[in-house]
Amino acid sequence: MTNPQSSDHPGLTDPTLLDKIDRLFACNVGQYISLPQLVVVGDQSSGKSSVLEGLTQLPFPRDSGLCTRFATQIIFRRAKEHSVRKISASILPSSDASEEKKAALQKWTWDKDGSFDPSEFSQVMGEVQSLMGNLGQLDNSPISTFSKDVFRLKICGPDEEHLSVIDVPGIFENTTPGLTSKADIQLVRDMVLDYMGNPRSIMLTVVPANVDIATQEIIELAREHDPDGQRTIGVLTKPDLVDEGAEKRVLDLLHGEALILKHAEDEFGRTKPWDTVSPDRYGINSLRLCLQEVVIDNSRMSFSEVRLEIMKRLKSRKQALKDLGNERVTPEQQRSYLLDAVARFQEIVSQGLSSNYGMDDIFDSHPNLRLATLVMRRHTVFAGDLSFWAHEYNFKTETDINNSNCDEVDNAEEAPPTLKDEHLAGSNKPTECIRTRKTANMEDLAEILHECTEEVSPKEGETYKWLTKVFLSSRGFELGTFNPSLLATTMRKQSAKWPNFTLGYISDIITYVHRFILIALEVACVDQRVCRRLKARLMDNLLSKYQDAIKHAYFILGIERDGTPLTLNHYFNDSLQKW
């Protein structure tokens, strides 16, 4: 490719910078980081291939019915050390290709000195299509007609100008029998959108002049991804097919009065009405010079950000590699790795239990490792819940009783509750609820933890009525006192909510502990495969210990609620007799 105009603009190109970006593309860095690039987009039959041929001077094959079935990256570089043009071709596999396919595509290369002739270029493109696996015959192959792999063509020579361009398949809405399917429509659309969505890409948007530009989907897509038009260059093709009388509309576009379109084909450029277009806004040479300037400006502006992003990712990957530890080929190396993980785990456990969080930054990035604090906070909540929520009835103090002005009951066996009791029982105070669990279930523990329940606030003003009923239904032949079993009966009724609060509490503690163990294990053992195996080895033992904790909670509940009430408080009998 030669360009006589470029000799007047020696400062437009920066081959060293462009070569760096090309090497990043060759290493498939573009799959992970947005690289500056020039992408040619357009609908099928928009004249995109003609523009590419004019820019690259390459004979793109047109006998297949589909101009482009995969993305093609074409790189031109001036190399004074070469006496003739040198062409090299390779394939960059897509990120979702199988390892076998990646190996086969990366192995393929093609080289030649000189120029392409149409038949030779067509043969190479056919070979590339076969390697990618898209033969283009739906009756013979279930494979898609299009591929996400990238065909890379590099052309170096003493007369080449510095330019890189990526051609992607043209978007289409209707299938071609024997060539495309409905799945291909979406695949191509996604591929084009992926390239257009790169914030560092320049979109060379090709639109035929003989259609209504405003209705072209590729223009709408360009607007969506580049609302300000900062990285969109429009190219109008096929001006010879414009209906008579519609030339003014196209000229308005070229003058920037309707859309951001910068260049037109060099057809009828010297004839009316196209001779009104400025010379730097029509023709392949003008477009090529503009693109060289745009590409280098975009690369200069973006490269510092690209370098910074690469350095950040490299640093992150190096740290991840370091975290994986040394080689673990021999049994000794494997034991050493596991011992290091155990030591790290024990260190985290020790600091987490002693609340010595300032010794390790890991407690800042993983708040759930602050185990002592979480457990202590749950202790406090549990104590409050038991004190205010976990009894069935609210007992009145002596002061409350003296201020209640309750009528004296003459016949306790037959007397109904007092009016004061009725008023309290039927008050308008809303019923409040509280959840007995404060944490969500973990999948590993779903079968052993107690379900979360909602408990209402203790009943107000019904205590006397309840105790009266219990007393009358428990009388025996005792004289001047009451049946001792009455205390056990009332205690069990008054503590009916204890099991749900207690089991909710112990379930939360188990959840805190289990989450702590899993996070500490992941921190200590970065290798996820080894971490999963260690977890599997520990799981049965952990579940057994959690179940033991729940059994112990049941045991304590049984002692407190089912046994004979006992206290060593010597004031108890005096207070009881007084009441």
For 79, what's the count of Cα atoms within 13 Å in the CB-facing half-sphere?
15
Total number of residues shown for the chain: 579
DSSP string, 263-313: EE-SSSTTSTTGGGS-GGGBSHHHHHHHHHHHHHHHHHHHHHHHHHHHHHH
Mean pLDDT of 332-344: 89
* Kind of pairing between the strands at 263-264 and 433-435: unpaired
- Is the domain of 314 the same as that of 381? no
- Is the domain of 440 the same as that of 306? no
DSSP string, 434-492: EES--SPPPGGGTTTSPPP-EEEPPBSS-HHHHHHHHHHTS--S-SSS--THHHHHHHH
* DSSP structure class, residue 171: B
Determine the structural domain holding residue 492 and report its residue range.
355-395+432-566
| Number of structural domains in the chain | 3
To the nearest whole percent, how much of the chain has pLDDT over 70?
Answer: 80
Per-residue pLDDT at 499: 95
* Kind of pairing between the strands at 201-208 and 232-237: parallel
pLDDT at 243 over 70: no
In angstroms, rounded to a whole number, what is the distance separating the alpha carbons of residues 326 and 320?
12
Residue type, 148: K
Choose the weakest-confidence range: 59-68, 217-226, 549-558: 59-68
Per-residue pLDDT at 521: 94
In angstroms, rounded to a whole number, what is the distance separating the alpha carbons of residues 278 and 264?
10
- Is the domain of 291 the same as that of 370? no
Higher pLDDT, 508 or 145: 508
Mean pLDDT of 368-386: 94
pLDDT band at 574 (very low <50, low <70, confident <90, very high): confident
Place of tokens 């308008």: 428
Q: Residue 234 — φ and ψ, nearest 5°?
A: -95, 140
**How does pLDDT run across 159-203, given as a tens digit for each residue?**
887 888 888 888 888 777 767 778 888 888 888 999 899 898 889
Per-residue pLDDT at 52: 83
- Is the domain of 277 the same as that of 233? yes
In angstroms, rounded to a whole number, what is the distance separating the alpha carbons of residues 536 and 529?
11
Choose the weakest-confidence range: 172-176, 272-276, 552-556: 272-276
pLDDT band at 535 (very low <50, low <70, confident <90, very high): very high
* Alpha carbon separation from 166 to 38, 105, 153, 154 (Å, rounded): 6, 19, 10, 12
- Is the domain of 526 the same as that of 475? yes
pLDDT band at 265 (very low <50, low <70, confident <90, very high): very low
> What CATH number does the domain containing 243 carry?
3.40.50.300
In angstroms, rounded to a whole number, what is the distance separating the alpha carbons of residues 441 and 542?
16
To the nearest whole percent, how much of the chain has pLDDT over 90?
Answer: 23
Give the mean pLDDT of the chain: 79
Q: With residue 264 as reference, give the H or E element that holds it.
A: strand 263-264
**How does pLDDT run across 127-152, given as a tens digit for each residue?**
888 888 764 444 444 456 788 889 99
Is 533 domain-assigned?
A: yes
Per-residue pLDDT at 419: 29
- Is the domain of 490 the same as that of 552? yes
- Is the domain of 229 the same as that of 245? yes
pLDDT at 263 over 50: no
Per-residue pLDDT at 489: 85
Is 487 domain-assigned?
A: yes
Is 150 domain-assigned?
A: yes
- Is the domain of 58 the same as that of 94? no
Mean pLDDT of 35-49: 84
DSSP string, 368-401: GG-HHHHHHHHHHHHHHHHHHTSSSBPPPPHHHH
Higher pLDDT, 174 or 548: 548
SS3 94: coil
pLDDT band at 255 (very low <50, low <70, confident <90, very high): low
Is 12 domain-assigned?
A: no
Is 336 domain-assigned?
A: no
- Is the domain of 199 the same as that of 270? yes
Is 223 domain-assigned?
A: yes
Task: Answer yes or no: are the C-beta atoms of 454 and 435 closer than 8 Å.
Answer: yes
Which of 417, 496, 430 has its CA nearest to residue 462? 417
Residue type, 147: S
pLDDT band at 397 (very low <50, low <70, confident <90, very high): low
| Structure tokens given for 495 | 């503590």
pLDDT band at 9 (very low <50, low <70, confident <90, very high): very low
- Is the domain of 485 the same as that of 529? yes
Is 156 domain-assigned?
A: yes
Which of 106, 173, 181, 171 has its CA nearest to residue 143? 181
SS3 534: helix
- Is the domain of 92 the same as that of 57? no
pLDDT at 552 over 90: yes
How would you write 126-169 as a 3-class SS string?
A: HHHHHHHCCCCCCCCCCCCCCCCCEEEEEEEECCCCCEEEEECC
Residue type, 237: T
Per-residue pLDDT at 519: 95
Residue type, 565: P
pLDDT at 241 over 70: yes
Q: With residue 531 as reference, give the H or E element that holds it.
A: helix 528-562
- Is the domain of 190 the same as that of 306? yes
